[in-house]
Amino acid sequence: MSKGKTIAPTHVEGRSSRQAHADLPAGTYERELGREGFFGPASQMYHSHPPTAWSAIDGPLLPRAFDANKIGAAHASPWDAQRILSNAHVNFSLWRLDGAMADLARSGDGDVLLFIHEGAGELYCDYGHLSIRDGDYVVLPRGTMWRIEAAGKMSVLLIEALDSAYQLPERGLVGAHAQFDPAVLDIPTIDDAFRAQQGDGDWRVAVKRRGEVSMVSYGFNPLDAVGWHGYLMPVRLNWRDIRPLMSPRYHLPPSAHTTFIAGRFVICTFVPKPMESDPGALRVPFFHNNDDYDEVLFYHGGNYFGRDHIGPGWLTFHPAGLTHGPHPKALAADPGNVDGKHDGIAVMLDTRDALDVAPLPDGVEWLDYVNSWKGYLETDG
């Protein structure tokens, strides 16, 4: 049975809606001030001006945007991937692979999550063989030996859960088969392709522990299992198999789209879905100060709320402390757009601890992103 909750009405002060994210008082902009990433105490504030309509920000705290398409160098090892953001609990990198990995890889630092942004190929690991394609997540449990033979060029988000493991979120009221049925998770198999790559020869395993790589050499391919059983294994999930939760009358918070949970961070996936149809419901994300979390959004495909300048392969970083929310064009298009569609596909990383931006090649960061919310007064009519 689902756990109960005390009946406790919410305080309403001044001119306010009685329902969050719907029926906003005329001429107002809603901002949510919340804790614990949409799960904790929260209030909605009704402002006379868009909360992101700042005229300037002086200081180190800035919304930032990066064009990962400009990270060009390919690496035969995932451990040489371009780090973009990190903290003590997660490494978030963009990895380009051209052809086959030179060696096997293994992380002693924690689980590895791959998200295939572009390309396709074959993954071989301790557990067998798995074909992979764009839009796939692949969870590789800590300690798994693996390698990829890409069919040409592949670009991959590499999200390392340092000292933790990826799990699925509790589904609560909607049950275990909502969003995706666990039966759609693919696992590697010991098939002919797997057996064909076994045999003698010189093989090396690039083992990463505490951020340092050691090479372990063998005179045979150590992916030599003839069988296995158990319930620890890599899994593959493609975003096309995610059936997103939605309400026609209420814009659900990002937490409704949580795909994986790890130690002190979550991964959410935004996939195409219809617009909310209730005339009074918000259709764009509400402005929010979700100040217990730093937020990273990677744009995989589709058109994400009509953002100018930002397209597939870009990522944005919104550190805790700054309000974020829809850009002027998206906000202007919201009212009455009931027949539209949310057609963006994006991967979100929300971290409980502050992220550091790694040194990046020149031109990757779009330095004018902080000014991209200007223009509400021209477009909000």
Residue ranges that bind Fe ion, judged by CB under 5 A? 290, 295
Q: 3-state class of 227 per DSSP? A: coil
Q: Nearest residue to Fe ion, using CB?
A: 295
Which is closer to Fe ion, CB of 16 or CB of 290? 290
The total of other beta-carbon atoms located within 10 Å of residue 123's CB is 24
Residue type, 153: K
If the CB atoms of residues 203 and 293 are measured against Fe ion, the closer one turns out to be 293
| CA distance to 67, 363, 368, 377, per residue, from 71 (Å) | 8, 9, 19, 35
For residue 133, what are the contacts with CB-CB under 8 A and spacing of at least 6? 116, 119, 120, 238
Min dist. Cβ of residue 290 to Fe ion (A): 5
Residue closer to Fe ion (CB basis): 269 or 290: 290
Q: How far is the CB of 305 from Fe ion (least distance, A)?
A: 13
Q: How far is the CB of 71 from Fe ion (least distance, A)?
A: 24
> Is the CB of 30 or the CB of 295 nearer to Fe ion?
295
What CA–CA distance (Å, rounded) separates 91 from 85? Answer: 6
Closest distance to Fe ion from the beta carbon of 34 (Å) = 10
Give the per-residue SS3 of 253-276: CHHHHEEEEECCEEEEEECCEECC
Distance in Å, CB of 284 to Fe ion, minimum: 12
199 backbone φψ class: left, alpha, beta (φ>0; ψ -120 to 50): left
Task: Tell me whether residue 132 or residue 266 sits nearer to Fe ion (CB atom).
Answer: 266
Which is nearer to Fe ion, 179 or 290 (by Cβ)? 290
Q: Quick check: helix, strand or coil at residue 379?
A: helix
* Torsion over CA: 22, 43, 170, 352 (sign): positive
**Assigned token pair, 324:** 């974020």
Residue 363 is given by DSSP the state: T
**DSSP structure class, residue 338:** T
For the bound state, the minimum distance from the C-beta of residue 220 to Fe ion, rounded and expressed in Å, comes to: 49
User: CB neighbours (10 Å) of residue 323?
Assistant: 21
CB of residue 300 vs Fe ion: minimum separation in angstroms? 17
Pick 152 or 321: Cβ nearer Fe ion: 321
